[in-house]
Amino acid sequence: MEKKDINWSEIGFGYVKTDKRYVANFKDGAWDEGALIDDDMILMNECACVLQYAQTCFEGLKAYTTEDGHIVCFRPDLNADRMVDSCARLEMPKFPKDKFVEAVKQVVLANEAYVPPYGSGATLYIRPYMFGINPVIGVKPADEYQFRIFTTPVGPYFKGGAKPITITVSDFDRAAPRGTGHIKAGLNYAMSLHPIMEAHRNGFAENMYLDPATRSKVEETGGANFLFITKDNEVVTPKSDSILPSITRRSLMVVAEKYLGLKVTQREVYFDELKDFAECGLCGTAAVISPVGKICYKDGEINFPSGMDEMGPITKKLYETLTGIQMGRIEAPEGWIEVIK
Ligand code: PLP
Ligand code: COI
């Protein structure tokens, strides 16, 4: 299989059209067979529910080339489960887990030429999504849906890759206390577009969102969960009903405990205690683990002892173990790696 002529180590996190995408349609209460298609364009009615009332959710995972030349993806079953949860909250139909995993494998295989080579630093990002497609004008869910998956080769989410970033505390909230923060609804990301542009305009890479009820606790960023390391090497991660249950974060909690022998705690994390942590990182499929060196807020800034030059030592161990598992250098826990080829 000849790979595409792409400068893999130079690509950022952007969209590159690949050859094939997967599409399945839901009509009259049932999903059709689904198929791989060439057309990247979607034609829909002007009054489609997704266009009027944002009835859409998505997932994100990656395919990796392993050290021994296989193509694999990481815990796609958990993306399938999370999409079922997102769909339930948005009154959308469930896309069956076995079909989801099968479709992911098919679409990656069909775009094998775009799966970045081992060691290039790039991966193939996989974006499953679903939306209500028939015309709806009164506020109600659609009756017809499309489920699709496209892929795109990507490099690091933040410029500079493993270099620590500076983030700011947003004045806006990304989710309501009993809203949709815990699911991967497109509407959450629409909410975050103005705050992220404000952050960028002010020179910050990302926003930290606080809990919308009291604004005293740490939630997450627009696209990743937080991990903090205490001065005693304990891994602490925020617990909240309004953050996305990150698959990377859940995996890292296992990695920290079982592979690195660290104490791991998921609990409410108060903004006021951040100054006492030794390291901070953002974790997610796109972010992998991005170290945070500094947090700026209205009344001051927090500079983590790990500094602005390099990842902190524990963050680095977590990063190396997780990516080692994903790229086949370290044995994975049972069921974490789905071999595609
Ligand atoms: N939080 C938000 C808001 C996200 O968009 C993502 C990305 O998917 C994550 C966290 C990380 O989740 P995961 O590790 O499952 O990619
Ligand atoms: C992912 O990590 O897959 C996401 O969906 C985050 C997004 C901000 C790119």
Q: In tens digits, what is the pLDDT along the chain, a chain of 341 residues?
A: 899 999 999 999 999 999 999 999 999 999 999 999 999 999 999 999 999 999 999 999 999 999 999 999 999 999 999 999 999 999 999 999 999 999 999 999 999 999 999 999 999 999 999 999 999 999 999 999 999 999 999 998 888 778 999 999 999 999 999 999 999 999 999 999 999 999 999 999 999 999 999 999 999 999 999 999 999 999 999 999 999 999 999 999 999 999 999 999 999 999 999 999 999 999 999 999 999 999 999 989 999 999 999 999 999 999 999 999 999 999 999 999 999 99
Q: Is the CB of 290 under 6 A from ligand 1?
A: no
| Cα–ligand 2 centroid distance for 60 (angstroms) | 6
Beta strands in the chain (DSSP E): 21-27, 30-31, 35-37, 56-58, 61-65, 71-74, 123-132, 145-154, 165-169, 206-208, 225-229, 235-238, 264-267, 279-284, 288-297, 300-303, 337-339
Domain-located, residue 10: no
Q: Is the CB of 285 under 6 A from ligand 2?
A: yes
Closest-CA residue, ligand 2 atom 5, reads: 60
Number of domains in the chain: 2
Q: In terms of domains, do 95 and 198 share one?
A: no
Atom of ligand 2 nearest to the CA of 286: 2
Q: In terms of domains, do 301 and 194 share one?
A: yes
Instruction: Give dist(CA 124, CA 66) in Å, integer.
Output: 12
Instruction: Give dist(CA 9, CA 113) in Å, integer.
Output: 16
* CATH number reported for the structural domain that contains residue 173 in this entry: 3.20.10.10
Q: In terms of domains, do 172 and 148 share one?
A: no
Q: Is the CB of 247 under 6 A from ligand 1?
A: yes
